[in-house]
Structure 1
Amino acid sequence: MRSLALLTLTFCTLAAPAAELELKSLGGEGAAQKRKYGPFVGVSVGESLSQTGDVKIGDKKFSLDDSDGAASFSIEVGKSWKMKRLPILASVDVEGTFMSTELKGRSADANQPAGGGRLATDTVAYQADMNSLFFNLNGTLALDLYRYRARIGKFAAGFRPYVGAGFGGGQVWYRNATAKSRAQFNNTGNNTASNTPFSVDEFINSWNWYAGVEWTWKDQYSIFAEYRDFHVGDLEELTNFASDGYLIGFRYRY
């Protein structure tokens, strides 16, 4: 009887660490597992795919060329929470984004010569560099596939599709703004343009929505790619401005 009790005690002593290790591998909340949630920081870079808006200089309306390739750079600081009963990861972050793009276009009658009410000094074309710095508060919902790693494998479980939206505000400023008169545009004279556009720097509101996918490895590190649609409030000479594009970046959770 004493031998049986001693054998049972020995088995339990050896089995306990193995059972604990197995529990952690199947989803126990060890220190490494917890690092997949909580505070995080991230950086990203990207460029625009298109931009739209309405331009008014003086009393005339102008087109806005659909220019792609505008650069952006972002830094984010936030925190994530996991839901207990659903495979959802919720995050809130504050993001600072610097963007640089080119604004250019012309009026519908730019090719028409002077005469019939059209003046040689009329502003008919414009160009300017627009830089901006925005700070947005964003909210994100992600599908937490890591819960199903036993079924789909650790590599596939590292992917995390997500959607989100945010709002905020920032400063817009213009540089290298130029304008062409009707005469200059049509090479019929050197008359200067009557109005020079984009001379006032402004503070405006902003909002955006986005969708992307993140892939994590070694608990703390992840890379992500997302599509983003970004809008700003009305400016003095530029209204309904919106830009869409992509971002790629890196996040660190601690």
Structure 2
Amino acid sequence: MRGLVRRLPGAAAVMLLAAGCGGVAATEGAEDTVPLRVYAAASLQQPFDELGEAFEAAHDGVDVEFNFAGSSTLVQQIRQGAPADVFASANPENMDKLVEAGLHGSAPVDFTANTLMIAVPAGNPAGVTDLTSLTQEDLHLVVCAPEVPCGAATEIVEQAAGLTFSPVSEEQSVTDVLNKVTSGEADAGLVYVTDVARGGDAVEGIAFPEAQEAVNIYPITTVKDSEHLELAQEFVDLVSGPRGQEILDGYGFVGR
């Protein structure tokens, strides 16, 4: 597998999929590989890495290639002709753009959800306690851009709390926000609960009640012009099925 995806021992990974995914092998032969290109929201990187490993182990000759980025960026790439087989969005709005363009191969399936959390560097040097803290004049706040799902959710919680944020930057993916917090470039950022978990000891999370006003639903679909629609549908089925849900739950995502 290229890029970000790691490999599991073959036998163990096959066992993970024994009940939930068929054993369709590549038809090109053992010497060739079939690339399955999965375009997925940046917040899905860890669970999808794990799902990709298991999918490869159960499908001889299939090479799962991930493109992780902001959902708005991914759908724009697909609409411009990028060779995607599967698209997983962090909100329905960007999935709607794909559907409106007639580029979905199957009906989108809502497969998980996520909520926002305040992320601060370890030790919380700015003393952030809640959303109101994020309006302090000297606070370096980083958020996602409005067109990105985490940015749209940020606007909702901002309005729900009756606050006005003045971020020092608006990023194109939630990963970029998290990186600025963990590196100390920002005093605080609004990311998903799952990103705080991913940040480990470098970040602390602060929950706030307004997050429930902006729960992000994640849909997934195959892409119409995929050269491997059968494999693409199998990957969608894996993600939305019991094994996929188990893995997503393990990374802090909210089950369907």
Report which of the two has the higher share of strand.
Answer: 1
Compute the TM-score of the two structures, normalised by the length of structure 1. 0.24
Report which of the two has the higher share of helix.
Answer: 2
Which has the greater radius of gyration? 1
